[in-house]
Amino acid sequence: MIKELLGHAHIGVTATVYAHVRLRLQRDAIDALGTALDGVTNTQTSRTDGDDPPPLPALVR
């Protein structure tokens, strides 16, 4: 869709031009997640089967 909107003939052009933006956004998201989870402690007993992840509070912005 972005390729079409920008008028690029090939998806490779779009990917090359905007790849750094995507990587930056991924890094920002990972940093935000790390900050949100920093200091979170699991106060519930862990299940031995490991099927369910422990509940964690989430910071929504």
**DSSP letter for each residue of 8-26:** -SSHHHHHHHHHHHHHHHH
Measured between alpha carbons, how far is 19 from 45 in angstroms, rounded to an integer?
A: 42
Task: Indicate if the pLDDT at residue 13 is higher than 70.
Answer: yes
Other beta carbons less than 10 A from residue 36's beta carbon: 15
Model-level pTM greater than 0.95? no
Confidence of residue 55 (pLDDT cuts 50, 70, 90): low
pLDDT for residue 21 = 74
Task: Indicate if the pLDDT at residue 44 is higher than 70.
Answer: no
Beta-carbon contacts of 10 under 8 Å, excluding residues fewer than 6 positions away, are 3
Q: Which amino acid does the sequence have at 46?
A: S
pLDDT in tens, 18-33: 777 777 888 888 888 8
